[in-house]
Chains A and B, each alone.
Chain A
Amino acid sequence: MGNQLNLFPENASTFASQVDYIYLYLLLVCAVFALGVVVAIVYFSIKYRRNPTHTAIQQVEGNMMLEITWSVVPLLIMLTMFGWGAWLYMRMVTPPKGALDYYVVGKQWMWKLQHPTGQREINELHVPINQPVRLTLTSEDVIHDFFVPDFRMKRDVVPGRYTECWFEATKIGSYRIECAQYCGTKHSQMIGLVHVMSQADYDKWLSGNLGAETADAAGKKLFEGNRCDTCHKDAPDARGAPLWGVYGTQVALRDGSTVLADDDYLRESILHSTAKVVAGFEPIMPLYDGQLTEEQVLQLVAYIKTLKAKPKETQ
C-alpha cells in the first residue's frame, strides 16, 4: 500500500526519517487546526442559520482573554515547530569532518559528477553506504537544483559560485536525482540516479573504472600547464601570492579588509583575480574567466586545497 500511495518517499539517508518525524508532527497539528476550523464553520452555519429564536442576539465587541489565549497557545506550538526544525536544519547544513568530497557540475540538461578518486560520471553517481558524502556544486549556465527525494536533500546549483550539501546513505539501492529548479526547455528530462553500494561493491566499481586521475592530480597538471607555477612558486621572490596552506585561513586584502579563503574565494581568485587583491601584491594575475571550464576550476581548487603550509612559513 505504501508504495501505491507513496505518502512518503523511500527513507534512504540519515536525515530522511528525522525530517519525516517533524513532518508528521506538523501534519498532526495542522490537521487538528484545519479540521477544527472547518467543523466550527459548518456547525455555526447550521446552528445559527436564520436563528429565529435569537431575535435579540447578543452583540459582543470582543474579549481580551480570548484574544490572548488564541495568540499565545498557537505561538507556543509554532515555536516548537521552529525550534525542532532549526535544530535539524543546522545539522543538515554542516557536513561532518572526513566526508568524501564529490564534485557536481550542472549544465542544460545533464549532471557531470566526479569522485574523490577521480572517476567521472554523467547523470549517475555511485556512492558507498554509511559514508558521509559532501557535494560541491556549481553550474555552467543557468541555475539548476540537485534534488534526491529519497535522501530529503536538495540544493540549488548556481553558476558563478559553489554551493554544498551532504548526505549519508543508509540503504542500498538506486535513487532518482531530479532537477528541482526550472532550467529551460528540457528541465523535466534533467534526471539521474544515485547508486548506493556496499563498500566492497563500491571498491569493485571503482577498480573497474580505473584510468581516472583524482581531481587534485588533474588540478596539479592544470596548475603547471597554465603556468600558474611561474608566479605561484615556493620562493621568496615569487610574484604571486603564496598558496601553501592558504585554504581555510583569513587572507588580508589590499583594501585593508580580510576574507576567508574558502572554495568560493579560491574560485573567484582564479577567474577574477582583480576582484580581491591580496595585500602586498600587484594585480598582475591574468583573468582566467572563459579560459577554464567549471570542472577545471574545481580541479584547481581541489589541488590548492591539498597544498599544505611549509614548516618554515608557519613559524
Chain B
Amino acid sequence: MKLLARVFSTDHKVIGLQFFWSGLLMALFGALSAMLIRWQLAWPWSEMPVVGGLVFPKSGGVPSPEFYSALFTFHGTVMIFFVVIPLLTGWLGNYLIPLLIGARDMAFPVLNMISYWIMPFAMASLAIGFCVEGGSAQAGWTSYPPLATLTSATPGSLHGQTWWLLAIVLAGISSTLGAVNYVTTVVKLRAKGMGWLRMPLTVWALFLAACIQLAGIPVLTSGGILQLSDRVLGSGFYSASGSPLLWQHLFWFYGHPAVYVVILPAMGVVSDVLSVHARKGVFGYKPMVFSLLGITLLGFMVWAHHMFVSGMNPALGMAFGVATTLIALPSGVKVFNWLATLWGARLQLTSAMLFALGFVALFITGGLSGLWLACTPVDVYMHDTYFVVAHFHFIVFGGSVFGLFAAFYHWFPKMFGRMLDERLGRAHFVLTFVLAVGVFLMMHQLGLAGMPRRIADPTVYPSLRHLVPLNVSITWCALLLGASQVLFLANLFWSLWRGPRAPRNPWKAASLEWEADSPPPHGNFGAQPEVERGPYEYDPRTDGRDFQPQAVTLFPPA
C-alpha cells in the first residue's frame, strides 16, 4: 500500500522527478538513435556497431534503408515529444512552479498524477511500433500524408504509423492535463504577496508555455485523430482527393509553437540562473516579461513558414514571412537584457552558470539562422536541407537542452538534497559545448552545399561526394558528444548517493524555493511564506548578506 502510494504519488515533487527519470531514459534512446543516424551518414551501408549485429544479423549488421527511415522518425519523435517537452514542462513545471510561487502543491494533484501515468502508455505504443509487421513509423516525425496514410507508401505505414499516432495522441493528452494544472496553479495558488510582477521569470515562462499547450495541442490532437481515421476507417481527409496540405497546417499549428514550449522555460531558467550566479538582478524585468508574452502570441502566427514551398498562396507566404521575422524582435530583446544582466556583475562560473552562458551563445546563433529561413527566397533554397537541421538543433539542443542542464546543476541540490561535483560539471560543460558546436555548426555547411535532410545515403549524388569528409567529422563529434554525457551521468549517480549534503540555500538565491528544506518535505514550506519583494534583489549594502530573500525570512542570515 505504501509503495503504491509512493508510485502513484500526488506530490508535485515526486511527479516532477518521475518526469525527470523517464525523460532521461527516453533521452538515452534518442541519443543512441542520433548516433546511429550519424553513423549511416558518415559510412553508409557499413556494419553498425553493437546495434547492427542485434538488429540485422542476416546482413552482417548492415542497416536497411527502411531502418534508417525508422531511426530518424524515432529520433525526432522521441526527442521532441518524449524528452524536451516532458522535461521542460513535466519535470521543471511540476517541481518548480509550486515551490517558486510558495504553494504547497498543484491545484489538481490527482489530475497531475494521471498526467504522468499516461506517459508510460504513450512510450509503450511507441515501442510496440517496432514489433509489428513493417516495423515502426517511417514517415518522419512530421508524418506528412499521404506517405503516412497510404499503407503501401512505406513499410512503416502499414501498422507502425497507427501506433505512432496513438503515442502522439496520448502524449498530447498528458501534456494537456499538465498544462491545465500549471495554469490554474499559477493563477490561483500564489502565496500572499506574490503579485504577477513578483514572479520569477521561470514561473512566467512555464506559465506561458502551458498556455501555448492549451491552445495548440487540441489542434494537433484532432489532426492526429483525422489521420487515424484515414488509416483505420478509410476516410480520405488527407488523401490526394482530400487535402494533403490540411495535415501540414494542423501539425504546424502546434508543431511550431511547440518550439516555444521548449524554449520559453529554458529562457526563464537562464534568466534566473544568470541572475543568481552573477549576484545581480535581472536587467529589465518588465521588458523580459513582455518579450515572453510577445513570443507566445507571435508564436501562433508563424506556423506556415514550414510551408513556403508547398504551393501555398504566395501572399499568404509573405504574411507568415513577416510574422516570422518579427518574432526575432522579442528574442533579441531577451538576449540584450541577459548581456546587460552580466554587465557589471560579480560572476561565479559554476556549472549552472556556464550552461546558462552557453545557452545565450548558442540560442543567438540558432535564432539568427532562423532569420535566413524567414526570408522566403533564401528559404526556397534552404528548406528541407541540412541548414534547417542545423538551425533547429541550435535551438533545441543549444537552447532547450542547455537550459535543462543549467536547471539541473542549479536545482539539483534542492531536488535531491545533495551537492553535485562542480569540477565534473564544468568538464561536462566544456565538452558538451565544444562538441555541440562541432556537430551542428558544420551542418549549416552541408545545407549550403545542397544536401537534403532525411536522405539515407549522401554519396548517391556525385555532386555531394566532396561532403564525405565533413559528414565524417560531424559524426565523430556526435559520437564524442554522446560519450561525453557519461560525465553527466556519473556526476548524477555519484552525487545522488555520495555527494555532500546540500544546505538549504547553497547559491544564496533570493527566490522562495530556497526557503524550503533540501529536498522539501511534502507540503514544501513549514510556515506559509509571505512575499515582500521581487525575486531579484541582490544588493550587498542592506545587511550582512548580498541578497534579500523574497519572503519574510524564516531563518536567520547565514
Residues of A within 8 A of B (CB): 3-4, 6-9, 15, 18-19, 22-23, 26, 29-30, 33-34, 37-38, 40-41, 44-45, 48-51, 54-63, 66-67, 70-71, 74-75, 78-79, 81-82, 84-86, 88-90, 92-93, 108, 139, 141-143, 145, 147, 149, 152-156, 158-161, 163-164, 176, 178-189, 191, 271-272, 289
How distant is the Cα of A164 from the Cα of B322 in the complex, in angstroms? 23
Name B338-380 residues within 8 Å CB distance of A.
Answer: 339-340, 342-349, 357, 360-361, 364-365, 368-369, 371-372, 374-378, 380
Q: Does B544 contact A (CB under 8 A)?
A: no
Shortest C-beta distance, A83 to chain B (Å), equals 9
A4 contacts which of B147, B457, B466 (Cβ < 8 Å)? B466
Q: Does B159 contact A (CB under 8 A)?
A: no
A-B pairs, top 4 by smallest CB distance, nearest first, are A160-B240, A163-B311, A149-B450, A188-B455
B371 near A55 (CB under 8 angstroms)? no
A85 and B376 contact, Cβ closer than 8 Å, known pairs A142-B147, A176-B461? yes
Shortest C-beta distance, B279 to chain A (Å), equals 7
Residue in A closest to B364 when the chains form the complex, CB atoms: A37
How distant is the Cα of A23 from the Cα of B377 in the complex, in angstroms? 9
Among listed B218-226, B324-332, B478-486, interface-contacting one: B324-332
Q: Does B501 contact A (CB under 8 A)?
A: no
A88 contact set on B, CB distance < 8 A: 377
For chain B, the count of residues having a C-beta within 8 Å of the partner chain is 97
Q: Does B540 contact A (CB under 8 A)?
A: yes
Shortest C-beta distance, A138 to chain B (Å), equals 9
Q: Does B383 contact A (CB under 8 A)?
A: yes
A8 contact set on B, CB distance < 8 A: 448
B283 near A141 (CB under 8 angstroms)? no
B384 near A145 (CB under 8 angstroms)? yes
How distant is the Cα of A183 from the Cα of B150 in the complex, in angstroms? 12
B368 near A30 (CB under 8 angstroms)? yes
B345 near A44 (CB under 8 angstroms)? yes
B321 contacts which of A7, A86, A141, A185 (Cβ < 8 Å)? A86
Q: Does B229 contact A (CB under 8 A)?
A: no
How distant is the Cα of A288 from the Cα of B452 in the complex, in angstroms? 36
How distant is the Cα of A162 from the Cα of B378 in the complex, in angstroms? 23
Interface string of B1-45 (1 = CB under 8 A from A): 000000000000000000000000000000000000000000000
How distant is the Cα of A63 from the Cα of B372 in the complex, in angstroms? 30
Most A CB atoms within 10 A — which of B144, B241, B318? B241
B452 near A178 (CB under 8 angstroms)? yes
B153 near A41 (CB under 8 angstroms)? no
A48 near B347 (CB under 8 angstroms)? yes
Q: Does B449 contact A (CB under 8 A)?
A: yes
Shortest C-beta distance, A302 to chain B (Å), equals 19
A92 contacts which of B153, B380, B455, B537 (Cβ < 8 Å)? B380
- 14 further A-B contacts with Cβ under 8 Å, apart from A26-B375, A71-B329, A158-B244, are A9-B448, A22-B375, A48-B278, A58-B344, A67-B287, A74-B332, A86-B376, A88-B377, A89-B377, A108-B153, A158-B310, A178-B461, A180-B452, A182-B453
How distant is the Cα of A34 from the Cα of B430 in the complex, in angstroms? 19
A22 contact set on B, CB distance < 8 A: 375, 377-378
A187 near B449 (CB under 8 angstroms)? no
B311 near A161 (CB under 8 angstroms)? yes
How distant is the Cα of A141 from the Cα of B144 in the complex, in angstroms? 12
A159 near B466 (CB under 8 angstroms)? no
A78 near B368 (CB under 8 angstroms)? no
Interface string of B259-300 (1 = CB under 8 A from A): 000000000000000000011110111110000000000000
A82 contacts which of B283, B285, B321, B460 (Cβ < 8 Å)? B321
B375 near A191 (CB under 8 angstroms)? no
A74 near B372 (CB under 8 angstroms)? no
Shortest C-beta distance, B161 to chain A (Å), equals 12
B146 contacts which of A38, A90, A141 (Cβ < 8 Å)? A141
Q: Does B503 contact A (CB under 8 A)?
A: no
Residue in B closest to A264 when the chains form the complex, CB atoms: B311
How distant is the Cα of A61 from the Cα of B535 in the complex, in angstroms? 12
A82 contact set on B, CB distance < 8 A: 321-322, 325, 374-375
B369 near A141 (CB under 8 angstroms)? no
A182 contact set on B, CB distance < 8 A: 69, 139-140, 144, 147, 384, 453-454
A159 contacts which of B244, B343, B449, B458 (Cβ < 8 Å)? B244
How distant is the Cα of A51 from the Cα of B546 in the complex, in angstroms? 14
A188 near B449 (CB under 8 angstroms)? no
